Amino acid sequence: MAKNATERFTELFSELEHSAESEQKQKMEELYGLMEEMGKEEFESIFTEELFNCIDKMIEEKKMHLENAVLLLTHIGYCMTLKRTFDCSFSFSSLSNRIEKMIIEENKKKDGKDEYQLVNLCECYLLNCALAPNEFPSICLPCFLKAASKKEEDDESQKEVEMALLSLSNIIYYRCDKELYLDEIKEIIEYHQEHHNLTRLAYQSAWQFLMNEFEYEECLEGVIVNELHFIKEASTEMEELSKCADWKREKKDERGKQIKEEFALIGWLGTLKCYFLNCKMWNEEFVGLIDGISRAFRAAKENNRDISYWCICSFEEAADQNAVKGDDLLKGGAVDFILEEIQQSTLNDEKTIYCLQFFDLIAKKLKGKKKEEMEKEERETSKRKVFDMLEEEGFEDAITSFYEVLNYLKGKRYRKLSLDIYDYLVNV
């Protein structure tokens, strides 16, 4: 009977401490392939605190060279990020303490600082760690930005840049000083816009980092929209990724590429959700942006429910913002797709909540319960269009079918979910 990926991984990993350094590297290449094969739950079952402690023990007993351990840890973090696995196992391990101390000690060196080693240590740490010490962003930011500024387009350089930017995007929950990053990240993004030197994943990661900081710095909106043309770039990238991604995964030899494309698309949707959450200014390109999300929804809805979920989240966040007009959501196709989605038999609890919340928000927007956003005549026209769509699609029947479980659904989220069916309908 053939062994599954977990069994093969466990067997190979147990052989590492008895292997010479060159043999270790060969076995590690096999381990990388097995990691990419694993599903999310299988992956989480393997990478426990116990496994990270075991790697630490091998380093301590000189059964694994530090360079090999860093390479292995970096690849674990890389796969963890692409599989959207968020676990604190590494953070609680003795290996985490070891890497933390090494980063601090390397950074303190006045002379002979090994910047390449510092970048590698920071990458393997931040790709695996749920929350780094407070001083780490100021240590890691300059390292990652310098590594990401490489202009060479050979495969090795592109991989280094991609890893640096992906690690950079993992610096979250911190307010970083703009002087530490703004000029450099702008230059990286603008250079790519002119020369297309970054991978899709690297480019999305650069934007994700900037968007993480936008949460704390309102003044970044002008830079993001007017100088770096975020809305246009996001729309273009999502359209291209929607076209090229093979959602059915029919080509096993390209599975790694497909996972990266899928992650990049979900990354853009997450970045958009963050943008909608913090944006304050209306933009005439919002319709194109909503249309871009609709295209992604159309490409993924049959074969990738995870991506369709992120599309719904983005629509709902857009509907909640005063900066986005009801007409933007209507013209961009958001209303059509949420109507279609809410009548699917496969809709789960969380998607149901987001769909109902979307209609609750757009109803308030079109009824004028939110900040005035359109002239009265324009708003009345939009309300009539939405109402006609709801009527044609039998939306009232769909809402009625959820009505008895609204109390249950309401308990699944902190945000208020109305129990009145008429709050979800738009009356002219």
pLDDT in tens, 149-165: 998 888 899 999 999 99
Domain assignment present for residue 125? The answer is yes
Alpha-carbon torsion (90, 178, 228, 195), positive or negative: negative
32 against 362, higher pLDDT = 32
In whole angstroms, give the CA distance from residue 19 to residue 79: 24
Listed range (45-49, 177-181, 236-240, 379-383) with the worst mean pLDDT: 379-383
pLDDT at 252: 45
At residue 307, the pLDDT reads 85
pLDDT recorded at residue 415: 60
Collect all residues with Cβ–Cβ distance below 8 Å to 275 and sequence separation of at least 6: 211, 214, 224, 230, 234
Asked if the structure places residue 169 within a domain, the reply is no
CA atoms within a 13 Å half-sphere pointing along the CA-CB vector of 81: 28
Q: For position 348, what pLDDT does the model report?
A: 73
Q: Cβ(164)–Cβ(120) under 8 Å?
A: no
Confidence of residue 314 (pLDDT cuts 50, 70, 90): very high
Determine the pLDDT at residue 141. Answer: 92
Q: Is the pLDDT of residue 337 over 70?
A: yes
Q: Could you say which of 118, 133, 148 is where a domain stops?
A: 133
pLDDT at residue 250, as a whole number: 47
Q: Tens digit of pLDDT for each residue in 349-397?
A: 788 888 888 888 888 887 764 545 446 666 677 777 777 777 776 677 7
Last residue of a domain, one of 93, 111, 133: 133
Helix axes 49-60, 94-108, angle to 10 degrees: 50
| 69-83, 233-247, 303-317: segment of lowest average pLDDT | 233-247
Domain span at residue 372 reads 343-428
Domain membership of residue 12 (yes or no) is yes
- In a domain, residue 276? The reply is no
Residue carrying structure tokens 């911190």: 174
Long-range contacts for 136-140 (Cβ within 8 Å, ≥24 apart)? 136/103, 136/171, 137/171, 137/174, 137/176, 137/180, 138/176, 138/177, 138/180, 139/103, 139/104, 139/107, 140/103, 140/167, 140/168, 140/171
Segment 95-136, tens digit of pLDDT: 999 999 999 999 998 888 899 999 999 999 999 986 788 888
pLDDT (0 to 100) of residue 375: 60
Q: What is the rounded CA–CA span in Å between residue 16 and residue 235?
A: 46
Q: Confidence band (pLDDT; 50, 70, 90) for 243?
A: confident
**Percent of the chain at pLDDT above 90?**
47
Cα–Cα distance between 386 and 78 in angstroms, integer?
Answer: 43
Question: Residue 2: what pLDDT?
Answer: 58
- Nearest to 269, CA basis, from 243, 286, 253, 289: 289
Task: Confirm if 362 and 413 have CB atoms less than 8 A apart.
Answer: no
pLDDT of 404: 67
Q: What is the structure's pLDDT at 117?
A: 94
- Does residue 266 form part of some domain? no
The tokens for 166 are: 């992906």
Position 366 in a domain: yes
| pLDDT digit string, tens, across residues 180-225 | 899 999 999 999 999 999 999 999 999 999 999 998 888 999 999 9
Q: Kindly report, residue by residue over 249-282, the tens digit of the pLDDT.
A: 544 445 555 678 888 999 999 999 999 999 999 9
Q: Assess if residue 166 is contained within a domain.
A: no
214 domain residue, yes or no: no
**Chosen domain end from 70, 102, 133:** 133
Q: What is the mean pLDDT of the chain?
A: 85
Total tally of structural domains belonging to the chain: 2
What average pLDDT does the segment 322-335 reach? 90
